[in-house]
């Protein structure tokens, strides 16, 4: 295994370091909106930000958006199943609830559970780019933005940036285990109107698991419309439907009796009205998300039927002032609700007010400061603040960031298994949980070589209190015993007193076109360590599940009509075993995927063949959730 890992690292290191040519593009220092809401160049944010174009989805050997994130530097995706079945997104250690996902400026995180954060109701054809911000962002975006932020920015909601008024793409894939995948979408812009939409559907009866097959039937469809009203106003709206139906064996338990399946249906609607004139910009957004989660542990147990909703509205005003200064202010209202036969009926309203000040001092120094006040009946009153600074020296920048964050417990952490008549084992919620709090700071440096080659290094530390996790707890110590059995085995949601996480991130990105050659490379390595004096962390589920060392890579090379894409990762983490189901989390694994394509230029059509898990590795990211072994597929792709 290690010889394969070393050989692969050597290969990609040679590719990234041996090809050095001049370039004129500036794709590695784009204008981003994630770090401050108002657009600003990545090199001026004072933050470690990775930007991936939406067009990468069709080029790589992947089937879902969480697959795309999995191979980006510094991002750990802990998958329970393939093709978007379910995945936990982890950035800079911690837990999966500590990453906030934002779509066109408004939040997606589900109030039921952070396990649904990767269910992004968006067809890949609609995505313009994905911006990943590493580290704290609660002072701007609110709760959950602890380890990092993932911001999906779509073409229709940013139609002013569109250079091609007609776009059509389609990809059809077939393969082993009854695999049939469809990815279709397009965009049309005429005068002041833009229409975009698409569908992604992944289907398979799945590879064998313990007595069942790991089937997947996942479909996402989205439609958006934008219209410029007069000279200064712009209206945009989107509706999307996301349906995930999949085998969920041992997704949440390590019991032998677990033969679960799950279906998660999501409706997403977003309305945005923007006004821009001169140095003033006003944005008014309203979003509504409705989720039905139907989970059945096995045929002998009644299903959990959870209905959650998320309503939010926000108003953001940006003013560009003299002396290279910009001020952004905003107010946000969020209401989280749940109606469940297991978790009961609950509602949590929340109000946030924030201000962000961007300032340039001289030619080289940039600073962004933010402060936010939040009020919620879940955690009361909280204030978060953030300071980012960047100092540019020719092709390099030095950066520093410090900020505090909060995260409130979700409905599963508070009320899981409250509604059942008798619970003999499993995870139990805790209605008395306090909100997590943390202080994060980082030092970093970036270096650009001719605008097409970027090197990044970041050191960070996050000091956390009241971190929430499920901890193995004897019946005698359970605070609520109403429907529990004295002989049961339980895991209770608890606040861990203190957990400190520190790490080092190194990454390089290379992008070059010369003649008939094209090369795109990303390579990242992350070292992490979490420490706590609280003994509960030894038996907790998720705090120590993150990788202690993670290497992600992605290489795409094309010459004339041929192209090859290779991506993968190497991961080291703590070893865990569950003898009852013969399951093991190994202390390391290496996985690689390969895709080869041939373009029929005149027909705008290409044929491809790909192998996922090329080395046929047996592995799991989370205990008992078996990931597929080698999977061969192929298909046709069309584009205009």
The CA distance from 310 to 112, in Å, is 10
* pLDDT for position 16: 39
Q: What is the pLDDT of residues 222-258, one digit of tens each?
A: 999 999 998 899 999 999 999 999 999 999 998 999 9
Q: What is the pLDDT of residues 525-552, one digit of tens each?
A: 999 999 988 887 777 788 888 999 999 9
Partners of 107 in beta bridges: 102
Q: Compute the Cα dihedral for 270, 273, 276, 281 and give only its sign.
A: negative
Q: What is the pLDDT of residues 274-288, one digit of tens each?
A: 999 999 999 999 999
How far is CA 457 from each of CA 42, 45, 47, 114, rounded to the nearest angstrom?
Answer: 15, 15, 11, 29
pLDDT level of residue 4 (50, 70, 90 thresholds): very low
Q: What angle do CA 25, 27, 31 make, to 5 degrees?
A: 120
The CA distance from 190 to 199, in Å, is 22
pLDDT level of residue 26 (50, 70, 90 thresholds): low
pLDDT at 122 over 50: yes
* pLDDT for position 36: 82
Could you count the other beta carbons within 10 Å of the beta carbon of residue 235?
14
Between 161 and 233, name the one with better pLDDT: 233
pLDDT level of residue 27 (50, 70, 90 thresholds): low
pLDDT at 2 over 80: no
Q: Give 493-518 as a 3 state SS string.
A: EEEEEEEEEEEEEEEEEEEEEECCEE
What 3-state DSSP class applies to 95?
coil
Q: What is the pLDDT of residues 453-490, one digit of tens each?
A: 999 999 999 999 999 999 999 999 999 999 999 999 89
pTM score, two decimals?
Answer: 0.93
Two tokens, residue 117:
């954060």
The CA distance from 602 to 612, in Å, is 29
- What does the pLDDT average to over 133-157? 95
The CA distance from 108 to 121, in Å, is 9
Two tokens, residue 18:
């041996």
Q: CATH code at 264?
A: 2.40.170.20
Distance of CA 156 to the CA centre of its chain: 21
Mean pLDDT of the chain: 92
pLDDT level of residue 580 (50, 70, 90 thresholds): confident
* pLDDT for position 367: 96
Distance of CA 542 to the CA centre of its chain: 17
Q: What is the pLDDT of residues 174-228, one digit of tens each?
A: 999 999 999 999 999 998 999 999 999 999 999 999 999 999 999 999 999 999 9
Long-range contacts of the stretch 205-213 (C-beta < 8 A, 24+): 205/177, 205/178, 206/177, 206/247, 206/628, 207/177, 207/628, 207/629, 207/631, 209/247, 209/249, 209/626, 210/249, 210/250, 210/256, 210/581, 210/626, 211/259, 212/247, 212/249, 212/259, 213/177, 213/247
| In 193-260, beta strands by DSSP E | 193-204, 216-229, 233-247
Q: Which residues contact 49 (CB under 8 A, 6 or more apart)?
A: 32, 34, 35, 42, 131, 132, 133, 134
Which stretch of 32-41, 61-70, 592-601 has the lowest confidence by average pLDDT? 32-41
Structural domains counted in the chain? 1
The DSSP result for 524-542, as a single string, is EEEEEEEE-S-GGGGTBSS
What 3-state DSSP class applies to 159?
helix
> Is residue 120 a contact partner of residue 64, using CB atoms and an 8 Å limit?
no
> Is residue 305 a contact partner of residue 294, using CB atoms and an 8 Å limit?
yes
b/e for 28-52, b at 16 or more Cβ within 10 A?
A: bbeebbbbbbbebebbbbbbbbbbb
pLDDT at 7 over 50: no
* pLDDT for position 540: 79
Backbone angles phi, psi at 168, to 5 degrees: -135, 135
pLDDT at 609 over 70: yes
| Closest C-alpha to 506, from 523, 522, 525, 521 | 525
* pLDDT for position 602: 66
* pLDDT for position 25: 38
> Is residue 139 a contact partner of residue 384, using CB atoms and an 8 Å limit?
yes
Domain that holds residue 178: 2-639
């Amino acid at each position: 295994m290690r010889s394969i890992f070393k050989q692969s690292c050597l290969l990609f290191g040679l590719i990234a370091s041996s090809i050095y040519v001049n370039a004129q593009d500036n794709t590695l220092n784009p204008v981003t909106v994630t770090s401050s809401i108002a657009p600003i160049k990545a090199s001026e944010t004072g933050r470690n930000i990775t930007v991936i174009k939406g067009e990468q989805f069709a080029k790589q050997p992947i089937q879902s958006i969480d697959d795309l994130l999995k191979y980006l530097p510094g991002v750990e995706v802990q998958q329970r199943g393939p093709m978007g079945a379910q995945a936990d997104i982890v950035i800079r250690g911690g837990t999966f609830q500590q990453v906030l996902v934002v779509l066109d400026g408004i939040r997606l995180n589900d109030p039921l559970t952070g396990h649904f954060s990767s269910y992004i109701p968006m067809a890949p054809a609609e995505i313009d780019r994905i911006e990943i911000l590493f580290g704290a962002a609660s002072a701007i975006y609110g709760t959950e933005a602890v380890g990092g932020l993932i911001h999906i920015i779509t073409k229709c909601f940013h139609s002013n940036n569109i250079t091609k008024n007609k776009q059509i793409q389609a990809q059809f894939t077939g393969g082993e285990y009854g695999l049939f995948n469809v990815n279709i979408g397009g965009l049309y812009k005429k005068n002041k109107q833009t229409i975009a939409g698409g569908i992604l559907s992944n289907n398979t009866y799945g590879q064998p698991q313990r007595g069942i097959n790991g089937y997947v039937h996942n479909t996402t469809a989205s439609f958006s419309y934008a219209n410029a009203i007069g000279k200064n106003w712009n209206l945009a709206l989107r509706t999307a439907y996301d349906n995930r139906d999949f085998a969920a064996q041992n997704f949440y338990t390590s019991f032998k009796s677990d033969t679960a399946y799950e279906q998660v249906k999501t409706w997403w609607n977003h309305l945005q009205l923007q006004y821009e004139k001169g140095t003033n910009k006003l944005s008014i957004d309203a979003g509504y998300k409705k989720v039905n989660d139907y989970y059945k542990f096995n045929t002998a147990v009644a299903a959990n039927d959870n209905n959650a909703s998320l309503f939010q509205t926000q108003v953001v005003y940006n003013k560009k002032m003299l002396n290279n200064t910009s001020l952004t202010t905003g107010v946000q209202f969020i209401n989280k609700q749940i109606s469940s036969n297991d978790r009961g009926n609950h509602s949590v309203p929340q109000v946030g007010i924030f201000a962000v000040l961007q300032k340039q001092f001289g030619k080289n120094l940039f600073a962004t400061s933010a402060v936010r006040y939040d009020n919620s009946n879940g955690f009361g009153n909280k204030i978060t603040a953030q300071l980012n600074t960047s100092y540019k020296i020719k092709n390099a920048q030095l950066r520093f960031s410090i900020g505090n964050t909060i995260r409130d417990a979700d409905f599963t952490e508070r009320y899981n298994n409250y509604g059942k008549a008798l619970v003999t084992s499993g995870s139990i919620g805790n209605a008395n949980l306090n909100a997590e709090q943390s202080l994060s700071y980082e030092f970093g440096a970036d270096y650009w070589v001719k605008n097409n080659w970027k090197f990044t290094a970041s050191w960070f530390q996050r000091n956390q209190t009241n971190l929430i996790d499920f901890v193995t707890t004897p019946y005698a110590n359970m605070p609520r015993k109403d429907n529990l059995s004295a002989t049961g085995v339980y895991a209770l949601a608890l606040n861990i007193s203190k957990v400190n996480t520190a790490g080092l991130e190194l990454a390089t990105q290379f992008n070059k076109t010369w003649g008939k050659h094209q090369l795109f490379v990303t390579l990242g390595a992350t070292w992490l360590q979490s420490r706590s004096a609280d003994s509960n962390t030894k038996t907790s589920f998720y705090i120590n599940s993150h990788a202690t060392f993670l290497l992600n890579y992605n290489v795409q090379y094309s010459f004339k009509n041929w192209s090859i894409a290779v991506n993968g990762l190497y991961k080291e983490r703590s070893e865990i075993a569950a003898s009852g189901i013969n399951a093991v989390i190994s202390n390391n694994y290496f996985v690689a995927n390969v895709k080869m394509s041939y373009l029929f230029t005149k027909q705008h059509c290409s044929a491809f063949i790909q192998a996922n898990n090329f080395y046929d590795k047996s592995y799991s990211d989370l205990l008992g959730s078996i990931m597929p072994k080698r999977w061969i597929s192929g298909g046709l792709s069309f584009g205009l």
